[in-house]
Amino acid sequence: MAAEIARAAALLRAGELVAFPTETVYGLGANAADATAVAKIFAAKGRPADHPLIVHLPSAAHLPRWAREAPAEAERLAAAFWPGPLTLILKRQANVPDAVTGGQDTVGLRVPDHPLALALLAVFDGGVAAPSANRFGRISPTTAAHVREEFGDRAPLVLDGGPCPVGIESTILDLSSGAPRLLRPGAISAADIARVLGRTPAIAAPHADAPRASGMLAAHYAPRTPLQQVSSDGLLFALRDALVAGERVAVLAPTAQAISHDLVIWKQAPAEPAGFARALYASLRELDALGCARILVQQPPSSEAWLAINDRLRRAAAGSGADDET
Ligand code: TXA
Ligand code: MG
């Protein structure tokens, strides 16, 4: 693997893209200091160029090279959670390319907690801009095979670190404008952040003057098959309707198969949030590939521990069924 990491770092230095595992999802990386290299990310993803990217750092010691101000709260959160699935939005340094920030005065930074990502970043010794390694609007990849599926013949070098242990994207916290605001929920919760800061971050509602975050678009992380969230009772009704209509349906539920029928493909999901999150995107990809009339997801509890998962399921439902996202 050392040789492959050296090769990946050399590709980054040469302005090429490299896909790599993080603890959350696979990223599609480019040298964050090289605007031409960063532009290749947008072209590969089919992503609008005004959507900002997260810069991945080898360690918190690199933070001052990218953020011109690091409030004490940022330092405390970095000390508590980095390496880890927390992205901090801070005022950017002047040298950060506009291609990375979407022209905003802020930059998203994190140190990922994955041995391959950390090894790559340490050898590269710089910032790597990387969105999730999927085509824009589609389900984030949590294995190297998912990345290859997304890009086919045009796939970059993919470092294979096996399945991502967290499985959903990092928590995004905006510290650039006074009171901390949670822009995207993730494995690190508002309560985890409050324990370190002694105050609870505001939960940002997506609105026009919020910093742009494509993870905040309603239609995101979406399968091509229409996806519907249902209660456990609702699941039985929806299944009955589908069978009456003669439709094939896929089910993702935390319980064992309740109905045995040729038209029903049942995937049992882990019943606790960390396991559910870890398996979620791979399960959605697998069920999406079956070409069923719909995917029925039995809605998890609405408690805090399931917040990030419910957020992703809501977006998956909102964007599902479309041939392509814009
Ligand atoms: O877990 C993750 O965060 C993964 C891995 C690869 O690190 N990355 C990821 O990147 O999810 P992406 O591009 O798919 O989502 C990053 C989110 C986007 O919604 C982007 O708009 C937001 O971060 N973001 C980045 N910089 C920002 C900024 N300066 N202000 C507001 N939002 C920002
Ligand atoms: Mg993404």
SS (H, E, C) 256-321: CCCCCCCCEEEEECCCCHHHHHHHHHHHHHHHHCCCCCEEEEECCCCCHHHHHHHHHHHHHHHHCC
pLDDT at 198 over 60: yes
Q: Over the stretch 227-260, which tens digit does the pLDDT of each residue have?
A: 999 998 999 999 999 999 999 999 999 999 988 9
Task: Starting from the CA of residue 214, give the closest ligand.
Answer: 1
Beta carbons within 8 Å of 6's beta carbon, 6+ residues apart: 123
User: Cα dihedral angle (41, 42, 47, 53), rounded to 10 degrees?
Assistant: 70
- Whether residue 212 lies inside any domain: the answer is no
Do 244 and 161 fall into the same domain? no
Do 144 and 272 fall into the same domain? no
Q: How far is the CA of 215 from the centre of ligand 1 (A)?
A: 7
CATH number for the domain harbouring residue 255? 3.40.50.11030
Overall number of domains in the chain: 2
Instruction: Determine whether the shortest distance from the Cβ of 52 to ligand 1 is under 6 A.
Output: yes
pLDDT (average), residues 37-44: 96
Confidence class for position 211, pLDDT limits 50, 70, 90: very low
Instruction: Determine whether the shortest distance from the Cβ of 28 to ligand 1 is under 6 A.
Output: no
pLDDT at 137 over 60: yes
- Whether residue 98 lies inside any domain: the answer is yes
CATH number for the domain harbouring residue 66? 3.90.870.10
- Whether residue 251 lies inside any domain: the answer is yes
Quote the pLDDT of residue 186.
98
How far is C-alpha 257 from the chain's CA centre? Answer: 29
Confidence class for position 323, pLDDT limits 50, 70, 90: low
Q: How far is the CA of 82 from the centre of ligand 2 (A)?
A: 20
- CA of 166, closest atom in ligand 1: 1
Q: How far is the CA of 132 from the centre of ligand 2 (A)?
A: 4
Instruction: Determine whether the shortest distance from the Cβ of 89 to ligand 1 is under 6 A.
Output: yes
Confidence class for position 47, pLDDT limits 50, 70, 90: confident
Do 157 and 277 fall into the same domain? no
Do 193 and 313 fall into the same domain? no
Task: Starting from the CA of residue 102, give the closest ligand.
Answer: 1
- CA of 108, closest atom in ligand 1: 26
- Whether residue 183 lies inside any domain: the answer is yes
Q: How far is the CA of 130 from the centre of ligand 1 (A)?
A: 8
Lowest mean pLDDT among 59-63, 177-181, 189-193: 177-181
Do 146 and 273 fall into the same domain? no
- Whether residue 218 lies inside any domain: the answer is no
pLDDT (average), residues 278-300: 97
Do 95 and 241 fall into the same domain? no
Instruction: Determine whether the shortest distance from the Cβ of 21 to ligand 1 is under 6 A.
Output: no
pLDDT (average), residues 305-318: 95
Do 247 and 301 fall into the same domain? yes
Instruction: Determine whether the shortest distance from the Cβ of 139 to ligand 1 is under 6 A.
Output: no
What is the three-class DSSP state of 108?
Answer: strand
**289/323: higher pLDDT:** 289
Do 118 and 244 fall into the same domain? no
Do 191 and 289 fall into the same domain? no
Do 246 and 190 fall into the same domain? no
Quote the pLDDT of residue 325.
39
pLDDT (average), residues 170-185: 96
pLDDT at 213 over 60: no
* Domain span at 292: 227-319
- Whether residue 220 lies inside any domain: the answer is no
Confidence class for position 57, pLDDT limits 50, 70, 90: very high
